[in-house]
Amino acid sequence: MKRGPALNKKGQDLSIGTLILIVLGIIVLVLLILGFSLGWSNLWEKINIFKGSSSIGDIANACKIAVTSQDVYSYCQDFKKIKVNGQTEYISCLDSRVQPSLDTKITTCDDAEVLKAKKAICDTIINEADKGKIKINGQPCSEIK
């Protein structure tokens, strides 16, 4: 009968729970590295989590709901931030690209309130160079007076 370490060799058990924790740890580590290197808003934008409307079609659907519920604020003054051809834009239901997809429209928009909402968005943009690039309903911020 042999004695010693030769008989007591057993494989190390790796439970499924441990394996899942290792995989989750790696995923969290990768997300942390990407978040700090790319920037958190950039990361969430690329992963498409925590993001509202992402296209003109999504906004058109939201506008249809606003018309159905007669929500004048959402229709006229609620601007959604989207990317069009890599450029940041803010659009509302009054945008000329959204209007053709709407069967019915709300016609009681107060032009002064719409202009006030546009100016409020432009005021949040600090960099003057960005004011010429970022558009609101197709109009650059630098042209909104």
How far apart CA 3 and CA 49 sit, in angstroms, is 59
How far apart CA 84 and CA 88 sit, in angstroms, is 6
For the segment 87-96, what is each residue's pLDDT rounded down to a tens digit?
888 888 988 8
For the segment 4-21, what is each residue's pLDDT rounded down to a tens digit?
555 555 656 778 888 999
Intervals of the chain under pLDDT 50: 53
pLDDT at 23: 95
How far apart CA 97 and CA 72 sit, in angstroms, is 19
Q: Rounded to a whole number, what is the distance in angstroms from the first to the last CA of the chain?
A: 96
Sign of CA dihedral 34, 38, 40, 42: negative
Instruction: Tell whether pTM > 0.95.
Output: no
